[in-house]
């Protein structure tokens, strides 16, 4: 009897071991995002005049190699195929969708750029690419009731099985699409409740792994991970962020960890994530961020396909040899982004606005940083290199992007626009207005809305005349947004029959080789004071304000900061409008390390709403800032 009992126990143990073993799989997640029709290699050119960054044939080599050598590959795209290159303006995304299908993509979420030209264009492109069918398109937060024609093309989620492991994948699209694109009559809903519903549905379906394919941005992804339990992995896009190692977010309610990844943009990288799944628990085995540079050999068949697409574009009389002809050179990098800690105009912003002002013959010109998509790199330049800088908008007749407009504004509106431009500049530069014909000073350490030194404003060297009307050149797409900047009335709006891209292209050709001056039109007085040693200063790098923890948080979060020498220190909390809502400390400190906690309340003791907030340390003439999110 005893022997039989032991035998039974051993059998049960073996069965449980086998069952446990049977539920274990290694999965390989391959991911890209925000490829923006960059099918051709781009960026600085090698000795063969071929771009050294990206190209879909190089990405195909990386993807194919991973699939051939790794267990259970899952290939995902986190949105934004549309816009960014002549390839889109010619093929409307059809070519990239078809190539993705040939590479065996398992799913893609819809990005905001897929809605740039209304859902009708998206449906037409998908239909021409053979959808529905090639691979699933996912978005769980679209209200398509106003345009049901899109519904057959989009699923909330899919479930894939690898051995005994079930993987649920759902998609989310940024709610910003409603304001920065043209989804009407489709409405993009807030992502939180749909995400909760998806986790519930996929859990009920018995999924061992839940992946969110997100086009929200790397920071909203962290908020999502902290506020919605049950998401194992977020494969992200939208913010064009290179995440070299997964970001780990612990959900405060459950203690579960969510891994967040994102692979830069324009196909410059391919992410490879290897996980072990045992009994519905995932473990990160390895992560690699692979560069699709010119050390990666192009997949020959696809390289030939891309060459055929290039020939088709160049045979279009609207374009000509836009990829093959060298038309200019740059002797230095002209970056679109402000450098870390820099608060001034850029070489590329100055070049673009000078081109607009010169061509339109206006007093001034504005170009919002958010409309400038890519750097101009040193070396030889083709038309495609320049078009990728300013691809926004699409004229279906000319095949180019947004046109140039001129208008008039009253001088009193200019300080308002400049205040708007620098209001949140230490946190993001999307709304920063590059300018030609205008110089001015501001102080980043002053409260938002009161940073510009009005007396310093010069229009072509003369003091600003508040009562005068000034002529302004802008991208036509910026005209309806000028009201956001504080410009309450515009006059004599005229659309010029030239695309912004063509204007800048011709300006570059006329001034080639280019090394456009920049950084001398807009001065941050706090930085200028340090550089000129106008008074004794404490070096900024001597102070340190650490990122708060936890972040995202609810209901409280803690800051650590260092004071290198005896100083008065003020640490404040600002909301996303740049308004100071709480002062955590404002007192003299001796040298040392300090900690303090914010309880999520404002000056009046009221608990603030969920959202993005900023902590700022000010000590003498030094400041540091950190971004954080309160979730409920």
pLDDT at 623: 66
The helix/strand/coil state of 504 is helix
The helix/strand/coil state of 348 is helix
pLDDT at 533: 33
Give the whole-angstrom CA distance, residue 457 versus residue 415: 8
Q: Above 90 in pLDDT, residue 86?
A: yes
Q: Above 80 in pLDDT, residue 302?
A: yes
Do the beta carbons of residue 287 and residue 274 sit within 8 Å? yes
Alpha helices in 442-580 (DSSP H): 500-510, 525-532
Compute CA distances 76 → 53, 268, 422, 490, 536, whole Å.
20, 15, 37, 45, 54
What structural domains and CATH numbers belong to the chain?
A: 23-291 (3.60.21.10), 325-532 (3.90.780.10), 540-630 (2.60.40.1930)
Indicate the pLDDT class of residue 595, thresholds 50, 70 and 90. Answer: confident
Among 272, 208, 211, 224, which Cα is nearest to 62's? 272
The DSSP line for 366-415 is EEEGGG---PBPSEEEEHHHHHTTS--S--TTTS---EEEEEEEETTHHH
pLDDT at 20: 43
Give the whole-angstrom CA distance, residue 521 versus residue 531: 16
Q: Above 80 in pLDDT, residue 91?
A: yes
Report the pLDDT averaged over residues 25-35: 98
Listed range (143-157, 440-454, 496-510) with the worst mean pLDDT = 440-454
Indicate the pLDDT class of residue 15, thresholds 50, 70 and 90. Answer: very low
- Whether cis (ω within 30° of 0) applies to the bond prior to 552 is yes
Half-sphere exposure of 108 (CA within 13 A, CB side): 30
With DSSP H G I counted as helix, E B as strand and the rest as coil, what are the percentages for the chain, rounded to 5? 30, 35, 40
Listed range (85-94, 140-149, 314-323, 582-591) with the worst mean pLDDT = 582-591
What is the token pair recorded at 85? 């290159």
pLDDT at 288: 98
Q: Above 80 in pLDDT, residue 466?
A: yes
pLDDT at 4: 45
Question: Which carries the bigger pLDDT value, residue 539 or residue 468?
Answer: 468
Q: Above 50 in pLDDT, residue 18?
A: no
Report the pLDDT averaged over residues 274-288: 96
Q: What is the pLDDT of residues 211-250, one digit of tens each?
A: 999 999 988 898 899 889 999 999 999 989 999 999 999 8
Q: What is the pLDDT of residues 249-261, one digit of tens each?
A: 988 778 889 999 9
Contacts of 403 (CB under 8 A, 6+ apart): 393, 395, 475, 476, 495, 496, 497, 498, 499, 500
Report the pLDDT averaged over residues 309-322: 97
Report the pLDDT averaged over residues 88-116: 97
Listed range (336-350, 372-386, 476-490, 507-521) with the worst mean pLDDT = 336-350
Q: What is the pLDDT of residues 202-220, one digit of tens each?
A: 999 999 999 999 999 988 8
The helix/strand/coil state of 243 is coil
Report the predicted TM-score, pTM, of the whole model to 2 decimal places.
0.81
Indicate the pLDDT class of residue 293, thresholds 50, 70 and 90. Answer: very high
Do the beta carbons of residue 406 and residue 490 sit within 8 Å? no
Compute CA distances 337 → 89, 522, 564, whole Å.
25, 15, 31
Indicate the pLDDT class of residue 542, thresholds 50, 70 and 90. Answer: low
Report the pLDDT averaged over residues 59-74: 98
- Please list the residues that pair with 597 across neighbouring strands: 558
CA torsion angle for 484, 489, 494, 495 (degrees, to 10)? 10
pLDDT at 556: 85
The DSSP line for 277-308 is EETTEEEEEEEEEEE-BTTSPPPHHHHHHHHH
What does the mean pLDDT of the chain come to? 89
Percentage of the chain lying above the pLDDT 70 cut: 91
Do the beta carbons of residue 434 and residue 352 sit within 8 Å? yes
Q: What is the pLDDT of residues 332-348, one digit of tens each?
A: 999 987 765 577 888 99
């Amino acid at each position: 009897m005893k022997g039989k009992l032991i035998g039974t126990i051993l059998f049960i143990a073996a069965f449980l071991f086998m069952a446990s073993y049977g539920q274990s799989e290694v999965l390989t997640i391959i991911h890209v995002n925000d490829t923006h029709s960059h099918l051709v290699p781009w960026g600085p050119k090698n000795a063969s005049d071929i771009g050294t960054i990206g190209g879909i044939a190089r990405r195909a080599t990386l993807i194919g190699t991973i699939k051939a050598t790794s267990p259970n590959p899952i290939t995902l795209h986190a949105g934004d195929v549309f816009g960014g290159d002549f390839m889109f303006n010619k093929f409307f995304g059809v070519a990239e969708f078809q190539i993705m299908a040939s590479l065996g993509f398992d799913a893609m979420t819809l990005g905001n750029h897929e809605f740039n030209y209304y859902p009708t264009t998206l449906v037409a492109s998908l239909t021409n690419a053979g959808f529905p069918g090639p691979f699933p398109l996912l978005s769980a937060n679209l209200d398509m009731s106003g345009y049901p024609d899109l519904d057959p093309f989009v699923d909330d989620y899919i479930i894939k099985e690898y051995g005994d492991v079930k993987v649920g994948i759902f998609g989310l699209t940024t709610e910003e699409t409603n304001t920065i694109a043209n989804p009407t009559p489709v409405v993009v809903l807030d992502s939180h409740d749909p995400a909760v519903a998806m986790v519930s549905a996929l859990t009920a379906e018995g999924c061992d792994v839940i992946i969110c394919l997100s086009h929200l941005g790397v920071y909203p992804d962290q908020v999502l991970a902290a506020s919605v339990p049950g998401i194992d992995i977020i494969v992200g896009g939208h913010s064009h962020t290179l995440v070299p190692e997964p970001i780990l977010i612990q959900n405060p309610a459950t203690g579960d960890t969510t891994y967040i990844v994102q692979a830069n943009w324009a196909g410059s990288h391919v992410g490879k994530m290897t996980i072990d799944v045992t009994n519905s628990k995932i473990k990160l085995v390895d992560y690699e961020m692979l560069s699709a540079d010119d050390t990666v050999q192009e997949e020959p068949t696809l390289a030939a396909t891309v060459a055929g697409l290039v020939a088709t574009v160049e045979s279009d009389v609207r374009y000509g040899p836009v990829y093959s002809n060298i038309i200019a050179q740059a002797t230095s990098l002209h970056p679109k982004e402000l450098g870390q800690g820099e608060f001034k105009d850029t070489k590329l912003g100055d070049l673009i606005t000078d081109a607009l002002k010169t061509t339109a013959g206006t007093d001034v010109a504005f170009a919002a940083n958010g409309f400038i998509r890519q750097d101009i790199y040193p070396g030889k330049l083709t038309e495609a290199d320049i078009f990728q800088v300013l691809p926004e908008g699409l004229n279906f007749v000319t095949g180019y992007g947004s046109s140039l407009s001129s208008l008039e504004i009253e001088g009193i509106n200019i300080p308002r626009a400049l205040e708007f431009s620098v209001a949140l500049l230490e946190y993001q530069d999307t709304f920063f207005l590059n300018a030609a014909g205008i110089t001015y000073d501001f102080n980043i350490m002053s409260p938002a809305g009161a940073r510009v030194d009005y007396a310093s404003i010069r229009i072509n060297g003369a003091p600003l005349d508040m009562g005068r009307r000034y002529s302004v050149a802008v991208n036509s797409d910026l005209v309806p947004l000028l009201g956001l900047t504080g410009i309450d009335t515009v006059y004599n709006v005229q659309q010029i029959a030239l695309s912004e891209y063509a204007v800048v292209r011709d300006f570059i050709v006329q001034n080639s080789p280019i090394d456009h001056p920049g950084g001398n039109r807009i001065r941050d007085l706090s930085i200028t004071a340090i550089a000129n040693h106008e008074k004794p200063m404490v070096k900024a790098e001597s102070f340190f304000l650490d990122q708060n923890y936890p972040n995202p948080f609810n209901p409280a979060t803690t800051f650590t900061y260092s004071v290198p020498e005896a100083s008065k220190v003020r640490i404040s909390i600002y909301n996303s409008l740049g308004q100071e809502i709480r002062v955590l400390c404002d007192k003299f400190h001796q040298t040392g390390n300090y900690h303090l906690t914010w309880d999520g309340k404002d000056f009046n003791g009221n608990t603030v709403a969920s959202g993005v907030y900023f902590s700022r340390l000010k000590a003498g003439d030094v400041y540091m800032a950190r971004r954080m999110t309160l979730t409920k």
